[in-house]
Structure 1
Amino acid sequence: MEARLGHCFQEGGFLAVDADRLDQIVTRFYEAAIDPQLWRSTVNDFAQLIGAVSTHLMAFDKARNEETFGFLETVDPQDYERYVHDYLPDDIRVPRILGAPVGKILRDPDFWSEEEKRASPIFNEFMVPKRIFAITGAQLGMEGHTTWFGVGRTEDIPFSQQEVAAITRALPNIRQAMRIGLSFWHERNNRRALSDLWSATGRGVVIVTPTGLVTHVNAVGEALRARGVFRASGNRLAFPNNALAHEYSLALAALKSASPQTSHGVAGHAGGGMAGAMTTHDGEQIGVRFLPVLDGGGPRGSMLVVLFVPLSGEPAPEAAEIAQFGGLFGLTASEQGVVGAVAGGIDMSDYARARAIALDTARKHLKSALFKTGCRSQKALVRLIERFCFMRLR
Structure 2
Amino acid sequence: MEKNFELFLTQLYEAVEHPDLFERALTTASDMLGTSGVHLYTYDAAKPEERLNYVARIDTAFELEYTTDYFPHDYRIERVHKSPYGQVITDAEMTTEHGLKTNPVHQLLPRYEVYDLMGTNLTKGDNFGWFGVSSLRAGDGFTPLQRKVFERMIPHASRALHYRQRVKSLEMKLSLQDRVAAELPFGLIIFSQHTISSINPEALEILEHGFLKLKKAGLACTDRKHNRKLAEAHVSALHGGLPLLKLTDERSGITYLIQMFNPKPQAAGGAVEAAQYLAVKIMMTGASEQAERAVLENMADVFRLSKAETNVICAVLSNQSLQAYSTSRSVRLDTVRKQLRSALYKMNINSQKQLFQLYEVFRSFSR
- Measure, in 2, the Cα distance between the counterparts of 1:37 and 1:321: 55
Task: Please say if residues 22 and 54 of structure 2, whose CA atoms lie closer than 8 Å, have aligned partners that are also in contact.
Answer: no
Residue by residue over 1:278-332, the C-alpha shift from the partner in whole angstroms, topping out at 9 and shown as x without a partner, is xxxxxxxxxxxxxxx9xxxxxxxxxxxxxxxxxxxxxxxx985699xxxxxxxxx
What residue in structure 1 maps to residue 133 of structure 2?
151
Alignment of 1:69 with 2:79, yes or no, is: no
Q: CA RMSD in A?
A: 3.6
- Deviation, structure 1 residue 65: 5.2
What residue in structure 2 maps to residue 92 of structure 1?
75
What residue in structure 1 maps to residue 89 of structure 2?
106
Task: Please say if residues 36 and 135 of structure 2, whose CA atoms lie closer than 8 Å, have aligned partners that are also in contact.
Answer: yes
Judged with a 3 Å threshold, the aligned counterparts in structure 2 of structure 1 residues 381 and 174 are, in CA distance, closer, same or farther, namely: same
Task: Indicate which of 39, 53, 58 corresponds to 1:56.
Answer: 39
- Deviation, structure 1 residue 192: 1.1
- Measure, in 2, the Cα distance between the counterparts of 1:392 and 1:155: 73
What residue in structure 1 maps to residue 301 of structure 2?
371
Aligned runs of 1:178-189 on 2, under 5 Å? 178-189=161-172
Task: Please say if residues 106 and 137 of structure 1, whose CA atoms lie closer than 8 Å, have aligned partners that are also in contact.
Answer: yes
SS at match of 2:24: helix
Aligned runs of 1:285-324 on 2, under 5 Å? none
Residue by residue over 1:99-134, the C-alpha shift from the partner in whole angstroms, topping out at 9 and shown as x without a partner, is 10000101111111345324321112x112222111
- Measure, in 1, the Cα distance between the counterparts of 2:92 and 2:112: 19
What amino acid does structure 1 have at the position aligned with 2:126?
A: G
Task: Please say if residues 40 and 53 of structure 2, whose CA atoms lie closer than 8 Å, have aligned partners that are also in contact.
Answer: yes
Task: Please say if residues 26 and 56 of structure 2, whose CA atoms lie closer than 8 Å, have aligned partners that are also in contact.
Answer: no
- Measure, in 2, the Cα distance between the counterparts of 1:53 and 1:85: 24
- Deviation, structure 1 residue 88: 0.7
Task: Indicate which of 88, 102, 105 corresponds to 1:119.
Answer: 102
- Measure, in 1, the Cα distance between the counterparts of 2:3 and 2:252: 67
SS at match of 1:133: coil
Task: Indicate which of 309, 320, 323 corresponds to 1:380.
Answer: 309
Aligned runs of 1:1-394 on 2, under 5 Å? 18-64=1-47, 68-124=51-107, 126-156=108-138, 157-201=140-184, 346=290, 363=294, 365-377=295-307, 379-384=308-313, 385=316, 387=340, 392=352
- Measure, in 2, the Cα distance between the counterparts of 1:371 and 1:51: 83
- Deviation, structure 1 residue 391: 5.5
Task: Please say if residues 135 and 150 of structure 1, whose CA atoms lie closer than 8 Å, have aligned partners that are also in contact.
Answer: yes
Judged with a 3 Å threshold, the aligned counterparts in structure 2 of structure 1 residues 382 and 321 are, in CA distance, closer, same or farther, namely: farther
Judged with a 3 Å threshold, the aligned counterparts in structure 2 of structure 1 residues 202 and 46 are, in CA distance, closer, same or farther, namely: farther
Task: Please say if residues 59 and 69 of structure 1, whose CA atoms lie closer than 8 Å, have aligned partners that are also in contact.
Answer: yes
What amino acid does structure 1 have at the position aligned with 2:131?
A: F
Judged with a 3 Å threshold, the aligned counterparts in structure 2 of structure 1 residues 109 and 88 are, in CA distance, closer, same or farther, namely: same
- Measure, in 2, the Cα distance between the counterparts of 1:391 and 1:111: 68
What amino acid does structure 2 have at the position aligned with 1:48?
A: D
- Deviation, structure 1 residue 28: 2.3
Task: Please say if residues 61 and 68 of structure 1, whose CA atoms lie closer than 8 Å, have aligned partners that are also in contact.
Answer: yes
- Measure, in 2, the Cα distance between the counterparts of 1:130 and 1:380: 66
Task: Please say if residues 26 and 55 of structure 2, whose CA atoms lie closer than 8 Å, have aligned partners that are also in contact.
Answer: no
- Measure, in 1, the Cα distance between the counterparts of 2:80 and 2:65: 21
Residue by residue over 1:41-92, the C-alpha shift from the partner in whole angstroms, topping out at 9 and shown as x without a partner, is 1112111211111111111124335651114444433342111010010001
Task: Please say if residues 58 and 67 of structure 1, whose CA atoms lie closer than 8 Å, have aligned partners that are also in contact.
Answer: no
- Measure, in 2, the Cα distance between the counterparts of 1:64 and 1:150: 22
Task: Please say if residues 4 and 28 of structure 2, whose CA atoms lie closer than 8 Å, have aligned partners that are also in contact.
Answer: no
Instruction: Give % identity.
Output: 16
What amino acid does structure 1 have at the position aligned with 2:137?
A: E
Task: Please say if residues 14 and 21 of structure 2, whose CA atoms lie closer than 8 Å, have aligned partners that are also in contact.
Answer: yes
- Measure, in 2, the Cα distance between the counterparts of 1:140 and 1:180: 12
Task: Please say if residues 106 and 136 of structure 1, whose CA atoms lie closer than 8 Å, have aligned partners that are also in contact.
Answer: yes
Residue by residue over 1:206-260, the C-alpha shift from the partner in whole angstroms, topping out at 9 and shown as x without a partner, is xxxxxxxxxxxxxxxxxxxxxxxxxxxxxxxxxxxxxxxxxxxxxxxxxxxxxx8
**Which consecutive unaligned segments of at least 5 residues does structure 2 have?**
187-192, 209-215, 217-248, 255-286, 317-321, 323-339, 345-349, 354-367
Task: Please say if residues 114 and 134 of structure 2, whose CA atoms lie closer than 8 Å, have aligned partners that are also in contact.
Answer: yes
Judged with a 3 Å threshold, the aligned counterparts in structure 2 of structure 1 residues 202 and 159 are, in CA distance, closer, same or farther, namely: farther
Task: Please say if residues 57 and 150 of structure 1, whose CA atoms lie closer than 8 Å, have aligned partners that are also in contact.
Answer: yes
What residue in structure 2 maps to residue 220 of structure 1?
none
**Which consecutive unaligned segments of at least 5 residues does structure 1 have?**
1-17, 204-259, 277-292, 294-317, 324-342, 352-361
What amino acid does structure 1 have at the position aligned with 2:312?
A: R
Task: Please say if residues 131 and 153 of structure 1, whose CA atoms lie closer than 8 Å, have aligned partners that are also in contact.
Answer: no
